[in-house]
Every structure is written in C-alpha cells, then in structure tokens.
Chains A and B, each alone.
Chain A
Amino acid sequence: MGIKVINPGLATTIQDLGRPGYYHLGIPIGGAMDRFALHCANLLVGNDEGAACLECVFMGPELEFTQDATVAITGADLPPKIDGEPQATWTALKVKAGQVLSFDFLKAGARAYIAVSGGIDVPVQLGSRSTYVIGALGGIEGRPIAAGDDLPVGAGAGAPEGRSVPIDLRRMPAGPVELRMIPGLYWHRVTKEAGEGFFDDTWKVAPECDRMGYRFRGGRPLDFVPREQPFGAGSDPSNIVDACYPYGSIQVPGGTEPIVLHRDAVSGGGYFMLGTIISADMDLIGQMQPHTETKFVAVDMDEALKARQERHAALDAVRAALD
C-alpha cells in the first residue's frame, strides 16, 4: 500500500486536473481548486504535473507512510511536520516508511496540496481520479478520505530532497482580494446603478464556500430592469429559463448574495448571471477563507487573456527553477 490515514482532516479529497467532457451531463470538471499549487506540488516530487494529490481544506490530515516517499505541500500555508518535527512548505521532503506526516494550524490561504512521489493511485473514473462527492465519483468510493483508509501510491522515480519553489513564485492571497471578471451573460438584467454598486461595494466570503461555489455577502441587493418574465423562466426577476452555467460565473439568486461557481459547479439552473471570473483568478478563489474582503473588478477580454498568459509564465518559471 502506501499511506494509512490516521486522521482525515476536515474534508480532504483526492484531486488531479479533473475530468473535462461530461459537463453536458451535469458532471463537472472537478479537480484541484488551486491548479497552480497542484502543478507545483507534483513538480517538486518528480510526478507528472497532473498526478493525483490530496487537497486539504482549512486543516491538515495525519498520515502514516508505509513506504518511503518524497512529499511536498503547496498552496495554503499549512505547516507540515514529520514525526512532530516542523518542515518547510513548497519544498520536497523525504518521508521514511513508518513516519507520520501531520500539520500545524492553518496560517494563510484555504487549501493545501500534498503531493506524494508516484501520485495517489486510486482508479480512474471518466478520465480522472478527482473526487466528486455529489456524484460519488473518483477518489476513494467517491467520498473524502476517512480514518483507516489505505491510500494506494503509484510507482514514482522520486526527486531530490530539499528543492523548493522560489518564494517570489508562490501565490497566496494576502489581505483583501480583487477578483477580475468579464461582465456579460445576463448583465443586462440589472439596472445601471445596481451594476455600479456591485463593483463599488466590498463583499465578504460567506461561510458557504466549497468546491461547488463561493457565496459572498455584504454588498447592496441588486435592482432589476423591470420586465414581464419570459415563459418558463419562473416568477422571480432573478430567474431565467434554466441554462448552462460557465465555470466562474457569478449568479445572484434573488439579487442578494452573489455565488461564484467553482470546479464542482452545478452545470446549469434558473438564475441569471452577471458575468464570469477570468480563468487566471480561479485558483485564487480556492485560497480564500470565509470573511475575506473581496472586490469584483471588470476587465475586458484582452486583459483576461493577458492575465492568463501571466499565469502560464509563472508556471513556466517554476518549471525552469526546478529543472
């Protein structure tokens, strides 16, 4: 085997880069919420960049290794310990058979990624090992890991111990966050004043924030442009004829609390959307804690594509640094 779970943490799941191609059936892409962190963790331990890792939210697990391995913890600042000895994050660490990996309290961010040389080797379902709890797919029987689980680990070449991602290449939210979005979709449903207010107001991440989506509170309710509701849409002014939801789309049921859909998004439904968070900022959402102050910022397509290239360049820089 490879790893015995002593304590699973809060909602620790097995994630890779997800399963594209089934969204039209309501099966979302899933995979790591912070994809950059997953790439980095795998690079550090010498894995394929898309190998399956453990995604821990707010709290780390306690894991006993039954074989020697190289591990790396990236993403949230969740300080690791091996047999009680503090270790560095964003760094390749050696763990010997019989040793226990555990964690101190979270210092920053929300989700840490644990990569193990060889990757977590659970069966592939619909092209991915990612856990999708609602559909009972992937991972260990489609659920978060539990105490007593034996996590299989693949054969890995391993990587030299001590390599780390340079500090300036690590990405972590610090203080208030700006989320860039392209307005569109059903933006025309809200009044001009409501649209301006949405960008002016400071929002806060609500406690309801998970792999499906992040809810925000604290801004003013949105006023709608009056209309007779289209046939089939439902009577609330925030209703539309049920349609597809883009990943990162911002829906505002009842005009009150925006919800940004994330990797385990529901694929569609009957609420209007203001627009969509740009792909470059999706990872960042995965690192936001409840109560994080947030501003939404409108950008155009050129800015979105430029930001996307900057994220590609950041990952290339990590690859070069670890090569």
Chain B
Amino acid sequence: MENRYSFGGDEHIFVEVNEEMSLEAFFKSLSMTNAVRDAGIAGVTEICPANASFQIKFDPDVIKPDDMLAELKKLEVAAENAESRIDTRIIEVPVFFQDPWTHETLMRFRERHQDPNGTDLEYAARINGYDSVDAFINAYAGAPWFVSMVGFVSGLPFLYQMVERERQIQVPKYLRPRTDTPKQTVGIGGCFGCIYSVRGAGGYQMFGITPMTIFDPKQETNYLRDFMVFFKPGDIVKWKSIDRAEYDATLADVEANKFTPRIHDVTFDLEEFEKDIDGYNAKLMEGLYGN
C-alpha cells in the first residue's frame, strides 16, 4: 500500500501510511521517520511518528515544499524494504485497576458517557463480550502492548495491544470529553491504550491508575534524570495488576525516589511475532521476568 501525502499548510507534510491501525503500518511509519532523520535533510525541524502515519515539519524558507515532498517520496521505496525488526525494551507498569480516584472522576462526568448507569470498565467489558470486569481486566493486562505513538500532551504514550485483530479490545471515547482526568490514569479509546502523563482533559475510558511517574519536567525522578519523558515509540509495556496495598507501597517508593521500573532490553521482530503471537509474547515475558 502506498503512502498518502498531504501538505499541512506551508510548514508540514502529513503522511498517512494506512487508514487502518496495524503493527505493519506502525513499523513502516517508524522506518520512514528513521530514514528522514538519517537523511539529515536541511530545513526539517520536527519528525513525528504516529500510529499509522507520521508528520514532518519543515522551514519552507530553507527547502521548498515540493522539494521536501520529493525527498520523502524517495525515502518511501527504501522504507518499504526495511527490516521489521527493532531493538527496544519491555517495561512492567504497575496498575491499580478500579481505583477510587478514577472512579470518583468517572462518576463526576457520567452524563458525558455512553452508559450513565455503569462504570467505564463495566461498559467496556460488556461491549467487548466479556462476562465480568475481572475477565476483561485479565484480557487488558494479559498480553503486552506496543507504544505506537507518544504525544497529545507531555509524553503521553498511545499503546496498541499485541494480539490478533479478533482479540483487540475496542471502545469509543466519551461522548463529550471530560475536563479532568487524574494524573497517570490508564485507559483506552478506540483500540489504543494510554497513560495520561499529566492531569487534564481527556476522552478515553478510564480503568485504573499507575503509581509510576512517566513525565517529570524537573527531572528529579531517578530514571528520568537524562530526559523528562519516559516512553518512546517502540517500547513494549506489560501491565501488572496491583491491589491497594501494593499501590500505596509503590507510591511511597516513588515519592521517596526509590522506585525504578522493571525493564528488559529485547529485539522485536514483527515477522517472527506474527508467526506465533502467544508464543512470542510468552518469550518476551520470560525475558522480562528472567525465568
């Protein structure tokens, strides 16, 4: 499938790799943006990969828009043949599902929701065909997720679950966005999971909260001293469901700056993954948990 190119005013080129989300589309977007970075084209000021698309911002005083477009099209051929393999890392993210803080918030904004009489989890479980909230949480937290985009605000990761399309969870966003979401809320909108990096507006369904800091503009958090944003596209996330006691203990560690996330370096190969998804995920877990 060929990319669709469109100018975003006189300073951006927007490139849609595919209308639909898939890991193939994400990998093509990532290899294109890597190729643009490696090409070092004068005048390029921002290179932004997204789920199944990407965007280049450029200075039209340095490079003419048509010339910029021609450069990108040249790189598409090479990206088509790029290996779908990346060196990345897998990270365990603890999540307290059905926590009191997102519950308070979702009740406060109930009139903006599709199901005013339930919770976001009850609604998501029902429309995805799960018998219970627990069964739904097991599916949500069972298989790992791929960080397919970082953005919206301040280092917020969008995640795509590493399962067959039939098993993908899908939920609509709120009918009207909330004006408030607790910091570090974990949720989903469309097929994308996310962690809200900061408190603020949002439209994704809210399932739980992580005690783990993922954005620290002061860079005091021990694992964010090099850079204030934790996630990058290509990271793999494994949710770990925790209870209130473990949440409180982990949060105390985070506040004392003693918490460091469990991280394991891996090479991810898309072709190998697609041959045996469950087997591949099991191997990733072995790497993460060292058994």
Contact of B153 among A135, A239, A243, A308 (CB under 8 A): A135
A142 — which chain B residues lie within 8 A by C-beta? 217
Q: In the complex, are the beta carbons of A243 and B16 less than 8 A apart?
A: yes
A26 — which chain B residues lie within 8 A by C-beta? 150-156, 197, 229
Interface string of B50-85 (1 = CB under 8 A from A): 111111010011000110000000000000000000
Most buried by B among A20, A142, A241: A241
How many residues of A sit at the interface, in one of the four size bands?
35 or more
Interface string of A245-256 (1 = CB under 8 A from B): 011110000000
Segment of A102-110, A151-159, A178-186 engaged in the interface with chain B: A178-186
A224 CB–B CB distance under 8 Å: no
Beta-carbon nearest neighbor of A134 in chain B: B153
Distance in angstroms between the alpha carbons of A277 and B254 in the assembled complex: 43
Q: In the complex, are the beta carbons of A27 and B155 less than 8 A apart?
A: yes
Given A231-B165, A241-B19, A241-B51, the answer on whether A184 and B190 have CB atoms closer than 8 Å is no
Segment of A65-73, A87-95, A261-269 engaged in the interface with chain B: A261-269
B53 — which chain A residues lie within 8 A by C-beta? 241, 243-244
Most buried by B among A24, A239, A269, A308: A24
Given A21-B46, A234-B190, A242-B158, the answer on whether A301 and B54 have CB atoms closer than 8 Å is no
Interface hits, B1-24 → A, CB 8 Å: 6-12, 14, 16, 18-22
B107–chain A nearest beta-carbon distance, Å: 23
Q: In the complex, are the beta carbons of B152 and A267 less than 8 A apart?
A: yes
B133 CB–A CB distance under 8 Å: no
Distance in angstroms between the alpha carbons of A243 and B189 in the assembled complex: 13
Q: In the complex, are the beta carbons of A20 and B46 less than 8 A apart?
A: yes
B138 — which chain A residues lie within 8 A by C-beta? none
Contact of B10 among A20, A134, A301 (CB under 8 A): A301
Q: In the complex, are the beta carbons of B65 and A301 less than 8 A apart?
A: yes
Q: In the complex, are the beta carbons of A246 and B10 less than 8 A apart?
A: no
A305 — which chain B residues lie within 8 A by C-beta? 10, 60, 65
Q: In the complex, are the beta carbons of A304 and B10 less than 8 A apart?
A: yes
A277 — which chain B residues lie within 8 A by C-beta? 9
Q: In the complex, are the beta carbons of A247 and B12 less than 8 A apart?
A: yes
Distance in angstroms between the alpha carbons of A20 and B43 in the assembled complex: 12
Distance in angstroms between the alpha carbons of A239 and B189 in the assembled complex: 11
A278 CB–B CB distance under 8 Å: yes
Contacts between the two chains (Cβ within 8 Å), count: 179
A226 CB–B CB distance under 8 Å: no
B215 — which chain A residues lie within 8 A by C-beta? 135
Contact of A266 among B9, B152, B168, B229 (CB under 8 A): B152
B66 — which chain A residues lie within 8 A by C-beta? 301
Interface string of A94-136 (1 = CB under 8 A from B): 0000000000000000000000000000000100000000111
Beta-carbon nearest neighbor of B6 in chain A: A184
B149 CB–A CB distance under 8 Å: yes
Contact of B60 among A24, A234, A308 (CB under 8 A): A308
Distance in angstroms between the alpha carbons of A24 and B48 in the assembled complex: 4
B48 — which chain A residues lie within 8 A by C-beta? 23-24, 244, 267-268
Beta-carbon nearest neighbor of B11 in chain A: A279
A287 CB–B CB distance under 8 Å: no
Q: In the complex, are the beta carbons of A135 and B154 less than 8 A apart?
A: yes
A185 — which chain B residues lie within 8 A by C-beta? 6, 8, 14
A175 CB–B CB distance under 8 Å: no
Given A21-B46, A244-B54, A246-B9, the answer on whether A232 and B192 have CB atoms closer than 8 Å is yes
A236 — which chain B residues lie within 8 A by C-beta? 172-173
Beta-carbon nearest neighbor of B48 in chain A: A24
Given A184-B7, A267-B152, A305-B60, the answer on whether A242 and B192 have CB atoms closer than 8 Å is yes
Beta-carbon nearest neighbor of B14 in chain A: A185
Distance in angstroms between the alpha carbons of A312 and B61 in the assembled complex: 10
B158 — which chain A residues lie within 8 A by C-beta? 242
Given A21-B45, A232-B20, the answer on whether A242 and B190 have CB atoms closer than 8 Å is yes
- The 8 closest A-B CB pairs, nearest first, are A232-B21, A246-B8, A276-B9, A244-B55, A267-B151, A246-B12, A26-B151, A230-B19
Contacts A25-B150, A26-B156 supplied; 13 other A-B pairs, CB < 8 Å: A26-B154, A135-B215, A136-B198, A185-B8, A232-B170, A236-B173, A246-B9, A246-B11, A247-B11, A270-B173, A270-B190, A304-B9, A308-B60
Q: List 30 A-B contacts (CB under 8 A).
A: A23-B57, A25-B151, A26-B152, A27-B154, A134-B200, A142-B217, A230-B18, A232-B21, A232-B52, A232-B192, A233-B21, A233-B190, A234-B189, A241-B19, A241-B20, A242-B50, A242-B158, A243-B14, A243-B55, A244-B48, A244-B50, A244-B53, A247-B11, A247-B57, A266-B152, A267-B151, A268-B151, A270-B190, A276-B12, A305-B60
